[in-house]
Structure 1
Amino acid sequence: MTEAELYTFYKGIFLPVYFHTSQSLKYFEKFSFQPDDIIIASYPKSGTTWMQEIVPLIVSGGDPASVETLPNWDRVPWLEENRIGILNIHKRPSPRMFTTHIQYNMIPPSFFEVKPRVINVMRNPKDVFTSYFYYSEMSSNWVSPGSQFLHKFLDGKVAYGSWFDHVKSWLNAEDKEHIMYISYEEMIMDLKDTVARIAQFLQKFLDAEVIEKIADRCLFKNMKKNNMSNYKSVPREQLDQTKSEFLRKGIVGDWKNQLTVEEAEYFDAVYKDKMKDVQYKFVWE
């Protein structure tokens, strides 16, 4: 199916209409944040599900019930998706936890007034592209990749718009003291250190043993076993995991198995041009 059939056009970007109704987007635009809310902000396929496992475990002090009793889309729901309006968010105890794939400049006005804490997760865009490719093949709600997918991705003509625009919007955010920037690659390199730094940012003072238990539980191979996180409960007609598992590999550098040398060189040239004014030092560079 085509973009016209599967996507809605919202403020210059495509959003899958199955998840983003006009009603849910209106709810999103009027959303009232609280100062102690925790927001996971990421471009798709950048480590969102991983962070939806880590953050609740930190907040709960390592209690596994926090990730075993609710699917990730309900335990840390997307602010802009259609389920947000039926979850009685206003009744949830503080700190409330949310996820968003929306760019910084599209966040509701309340966000800029109360300045909740944000964990912004980024990932090498070539690995994002690769993961995005496989997810697009398995999801009935996203347009299938097709032969021109690389160009569509680099031009931002895919669901949730341009990776470049998304990443730069959050890097250029004002009041950065309430935003933690972290990469998928850092999580791979030293997950225990990542958990400790996130806990410190969230002002959750956990002892070393708890940090280690959380990190162990959140190793990709262990998280993959959690049926509240591996999307196994999603019907096959929506997410066909016979084509590819939702939690597929959880590695760095898989783009080398996806892109040809010529495609990788073209990707690098576009990246160099679009990111030339960005001062932030990425782990993958």
Structure 2
Amino acid sequence: MARLDDTETFHSIMFPGHMHTKDSLNYAANFRFQDTDTVIVTYPKSGTTWMQEIITLVLNKGDPTVAQNQPNWARAPWLEQYYCADVLKATTGPRIITTHLPYHLLAPALQHSKAKVIYVARNLKDVSVSYYHFHKMANFLPDPGTFSDFLNDFLKGEVHYGSWFDHIKGWTSHAKDIQNFLYITYEEMWQDLLGSVRKVSHFLQFPLTEDELILAQKHCSFNSMKENAMVNYTLIPQEIMDHSKGKFMRNGKVGDWKNLFTEEQSRLVDDVYSSQMADSSLLFKWECPEESRRPLMTNYTSETYTQKITLLT
């Protein structure tokens, strides 16, 4: 299935036609979740691959065999992509399901479900930069033009998968309606990976020994994933994802936006963010220098959820 230049529009949101069809999107919206499912929810370029790897390693007690021999899209398929139904039919045991869909499209399917939902969020500026670079190498996404052009479209939600603001506010504002919900940020995972693996393990009610936690942490580090063909997308043909134009896993750092944003663009995003997120208490860490790495402090635990996150500066 090529359809590299096609776009599917579903409920006024654009999706790449290469992996999405009207049938696959309807399948996702009417999906029957099982209580044993674990659902990874993200806006694109927010730590999806990372969480897929963390969960895989937690469920295998840190053993990297599965993570190093099975592509992430096969062990944690995207619900809205056309191949998902076939992958899930062949799955034995608890299922890991990934989605970029907004809350309102999955709300009916999740109603009364005990599926465990993990929402991974990333700061807006880093997402926009990562998504821009991804557009440059992914031939199934439109040419992004200049970063200034892309950023304007991104802030207006006129990109594939829709608005970052709508996505994150939709899921977090309805967290109370989901029986088992964990909110975690990319920045938290980057700054305290061992603590994040421990948090996911606890949420999944799949306890690991300290040695198993450390082993899992080792194999889901950015450097480890960058070299793992099962997650770095080098298995994808060049005509679909052109790695000569960039790497799927570039650097994974927090604050990379500062290498591309102008001061004017940064102020623009700050203004739009303040306006769009005025009704949200979510807080994000916009930069995290290597020399100041230390565990983040939050006012939530894995068992409970609150929208506000307090971060050390």
Alignment of 1:100-115 (within 5 A): 100-107=99-106, 109-115=108-114
Whether 1:41 and 2:57 are equivalent positions in the alignment is: no
Q: Which whole-Å CA distance do the structure 2 matches of 1:12 and 1:116 have between them?
A: 27
Identity %: 41
Amino acid at match of 2:32: S
Q: Which whole-Å CA distance do the structure 2 matches of 1:52 and 1:194 have between them?
A: 13
Q: Which residue of 2 aligns with 1:125?
A: 124
Q: Which residue of 2 aligns with 1:169?
A: 170
Amino acid at match of 1:198: V
Deviation at 1:176, TM superposition (A): 4.6
CA deviation vs aligned residue, 1:24-66 (integer Å, no higher than 9, x gap): 1222223211011000000000010111111011112222122
Asked if the contact 2:113/2:179 (under 8 Å) is kept, the reply is no
Q: Which whole-Å CA distance do the structure 2 matches of 1:8 and 1:72 have between them?
A: 24
Deviation at 1:177, TM superposition (A): 4.8
Asked if the contact 1:28/1:108 (under 8 Å) is kept, the reply is no
Runs of 4+ in structure 1 off by over 4 angstroms are none
Q: Which whole-Å CA distance do the structure 1 matches of 2:284 and 2:117 have between them?
A: 18
For residues 177 and 27 of structure 1, do their structure 2 counterparts lie closer, same or farther at Cα, with a shift above 3 Å needed? closer
Amino acid at match of 2:154: F
Alignment of 1:1-285 (within 5 A): 5-87=5-87, 89-107=88-106, 109-147=108-146, 148-173=149-174, 174-284=176-286
Deviation at 1:109, TM superposition (A): 2.5
CA deviation vs aligned residue, 1:131-170 (integer Å, no higher than 9, x gap): 0010000011001111311110000000100000000011
Deviation at 1:69, TM superposition (A): 2.2
Deviation at 1:94, TM superposition (A): 2.9
Could you tell me which runs of 5 or more consecutive residues in structure 1 were left unpaired when the two chains were aligned: none
Deviation at 1:241, TM superposition (A): 0.7
- Where 1:82 maps in the other structure, the secondary structure is coil
Could you tell me which runs of 5 or more consecutive residues in structure 2 were left unpaired when the two chains were aligned: 287-310
Q: Which whole-Å CA distance do the structure 2 matches of 1:42 and 1:140 have between them?
A: 21
Asked if the contact 1:79/1:98 (under 8 Å) is kept, the reply is yes
Deviation at 1:108, TM superposition (A): 5.9
Q: Which whole-Å CA distance do the structure 2 matches of 1:232 and 1:258 have between them?
A: 25
Amino acid at match of 2:73: W
Q: Which whole-Å CA distance do the structure 1 matches of 2:6 and 2:246 have between them?
A: 21
Superposition RMSD in Å? 1.5
TM-score calculated relative to the size of structure 2: 0.86
Aligned length: 281
Bigger Cα displacement from structure 2, 99-108 vs 172-181:
172-181
Amino acid at match of 2:139: S
TM-score calculated relative to the size of structure 1: 0.95
Amino acid at match of 1:107: L
Deviation at 1:258, TM superposition (A): 1.1
Amino acid at match of 2:97: F
